[in-house]
């Protein structure tokens, strides 16, 4: 295929679309050509594709606690995954394939590379056809880096993912590749990472430019300790430390450290935090925090109570406490906290809040205008369902998830549907 590959993939070969697509390739970070392209698609009889481009651009501009993300997460998952269009993407050369979620801002842009040599040989053609900005490197060896350095397109990469992880020598050399100056999102996986890998990441010339970092090491707590020692200011806005076997002791020095000063989204899921970890979060109150994910961290009702009674919830817009075996006491503590008034997304999936917990949330005088409330798999029955249907505080909900609550009977289900219509998921 030539430069018009993507319009042809759409079944559209009009010269105006081809010209607009070239503008996207010339300025892949600019949304304006993409939105103009969407308008042209609409005019060319491609309204669904146009809507997809516009929708993904809006998601890229929105936080996860804003309406666009909430609607997509609960009512339009293909907008996030691009699944409606992925099957039509052409196959790539051996050793290169599309990412599981290949679309970025409406266009195929994320690839997975298992053969660095093939990637470098195909790079001119790939980047001439697609606005690629996300690169996942699988099975990369030390000797591959010298080959990678020959690629003249690396400056367009904004997200670099090493899902298997790597030892310190490989990470040091990989993150020193001159072409990666544009990387702002770095993801390092667990399997091959060692204690020294974290040090190599944080000492790299790439780290001070990062706005998003994900780091997983199944061996333990080293990355949190290293991050807590970073002396200078960092640009990090998103920090994902899920699955690092962190304990409250490891978390304590990180929370007040300079690296946390600008972090808005913090994922601590699948760590061994317990109630003490929740208390550390409550005491530290990271100043910029807007989204906090604590899936499967076992804070207990006492830990949730500690957070609810402290200022850590004040600035939060998203709180995820899924999979923690929380009882009705946790819901009661949240409902009693004035700080929950700022929450737009509250996810309590896979707990045991029961009717008492659902009633507490339904009657919460502080809950304001949440956009989504997720109570899937919580042993909620008719009493809790009716209380939610009658709640005066949930008028702005875009999604109320009550799936996997088999105790909700037909009458209560009808009450919910009468109140929320398609916004309730049963």
Asked whether residue 61 carries a pLDDT value surpassing 90, the answer given is yes
pLDDT confidence of 367, banded at 50, 70, 90?
Answer: confident
Question: Which whole number is the average pLDDT over 268-288?
Answer: 94
> Rounded mean pLDDT of 316-324?
97
More reliable by pLDDT, 2 or 334: 334
Confidence grade of residue 366 (pLDDT, cut at 50, 70, 90):
confident
State mean pLDDT over 389-406.
95
Whether the predicted pLDDT of 290 surpasses 70:
yes
- Tell whether the model's pLDDT for residue 11 goes beyond 80: no
- Say if residue 352's pLDDT is above 80: yes
pLDDT attached to residue 217: 86
Q: Please give the average per-residue pLDDT across 150-161, as a whole number.
A: 96
Residues in the chain: 426
Quick one: pLDDT at residue 32? 96
Quickly state the pLDDT bin for 15 (edges 50, 70, 90).
confident
Global pTM?
Answer: 0.93
Closest CA to 153 of 110, 175, 186, 120: 120
Report residue 372's pLDDT band, with 50, 70 and 90 as the boundaries.
Answer: very high
Q: Residues 304-310: what's their mean pLDDT? A: 91
Separation in Å, CA 227 to CA 143, 183, 268: 29, 19, 14
- Residue 9 has a pLDDT of 44
The whole-number average pLDDT for the span 375-402 is: 96
What stretch of H or E contains 293? strand 291-293
Neighbouring-strand partners of residue 102? none
Return d(Cα 208, Cα 374) in angstroms, integer: 36
Contacts of residue 125, Cβ cutoff 8 Å, sequence gap at least 6: none
77-104: average pLDDT: 92
- The pLDDT of residue 375 is 98
- pLDDT interval class at 233 (50, 70, 90): low
Provide the CA 60 distance to its chain's centre, in angstroms: 11
Q: Alpha helices, DSSP H only, in 76-221?
A: 77-81, 83-86, 116-129, 144-148, 168-174, 195-203
What average pLDDT does the segment 234-241 reach?
94
| pLDDT at residue 8 is higher than 90 | no
- The pLDDT assigned to 218 comes to 74
State mean pLDDT over 196-205. 92
Mean per-residue pLDDT, 415-423: 97
Q: What is the mean pLDDT of the chain?
A: 92
Asked if residue 258 lies in contact with residue 238, where contact means CB atoms within 8 angstroms, the answer is no
């Amino acid at each position: 295929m030539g430069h018009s590959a993507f319009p042809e993939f759409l079944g559209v070969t009009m010269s105006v679309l081809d010209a607009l697509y070239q503008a996207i390739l010339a300025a892949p970070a600019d949304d304006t050509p993409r939105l103009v392209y969407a308008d042209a698609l609409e005019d060319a009889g491609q309204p669904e594709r146009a809507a997809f481009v516009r929708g993904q651009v809006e998601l890229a501009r929105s936080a996860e606690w804003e309406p666009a993300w909430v609607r997509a997460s609960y009512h339009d998952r293909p907008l996030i995954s691009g699944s409606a269009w992925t099957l039509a993407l052409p196959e790539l050369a051996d050793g290169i394939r599309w990412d599981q979620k290949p679309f970025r801002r409406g266009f195929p842009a994320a690839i997975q590379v298992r053969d660095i040599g093939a990637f470098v040989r195909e790079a001119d053609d790939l980047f001439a056809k697609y606005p690629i900005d996300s690169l996942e490197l699988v099975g990369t060896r030390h000797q591959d880096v010298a080959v990678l350095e020959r690629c003249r397109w690396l400056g367009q990469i904004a997200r670099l993912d090493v899902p298997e992880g790597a030892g310190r020598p490989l990470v040091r050399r990989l993150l020193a590749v001159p072409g990666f100056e544009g990387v702002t999102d770095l993801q390092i996986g667990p399997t091959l990472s060692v204690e020294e890998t974290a040090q190599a990441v944080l000492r790299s010339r790439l780290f001070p430019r990062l706005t998003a970092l994900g780091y997983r090491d199944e061996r333990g707590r080293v990355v949190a300790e290293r991050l807590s020692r970073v002396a200078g200011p960092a640009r990090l806005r998103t920090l994902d430390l899920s699955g690092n076997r962190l304990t409250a002791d490891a978390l304590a020095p990180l929370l007040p450290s300079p690296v946390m000063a600008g972090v808005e989204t913090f994922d601590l899921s699948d760590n061994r935090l317990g109630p003490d970890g929740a208390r550390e979060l409550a005491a530290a109150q990271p100043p910029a925090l807007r989204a906090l994910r604590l899936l499967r961290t076992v804070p207990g009702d006492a830990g949730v109570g500690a957070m609810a009674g402290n200022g850590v919830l004040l600035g939060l817009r998203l709180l995820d406490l899924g999979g923690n075996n929380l009882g009705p006491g946790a819901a009661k503590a949240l409902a009693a906290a004035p700080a929950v008034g700022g929450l737009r997304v509250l996810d309590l999936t896979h707990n045991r809040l029961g009717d008492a917990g659902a009633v507490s949330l339904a009657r919460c005088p502080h809950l304001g205008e949440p956009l989504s409330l997720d109570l899937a798999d919580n042993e909620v029955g008719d009493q809790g369902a009716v209380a939610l249907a009658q709640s005066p505080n949930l008028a702005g909900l875009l999604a109320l998830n009550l799936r996997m609550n088999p105790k909700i009977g037909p009458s209560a289900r009808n009450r919910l549907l009468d109140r929320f219509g398609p916004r309730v998921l049963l």
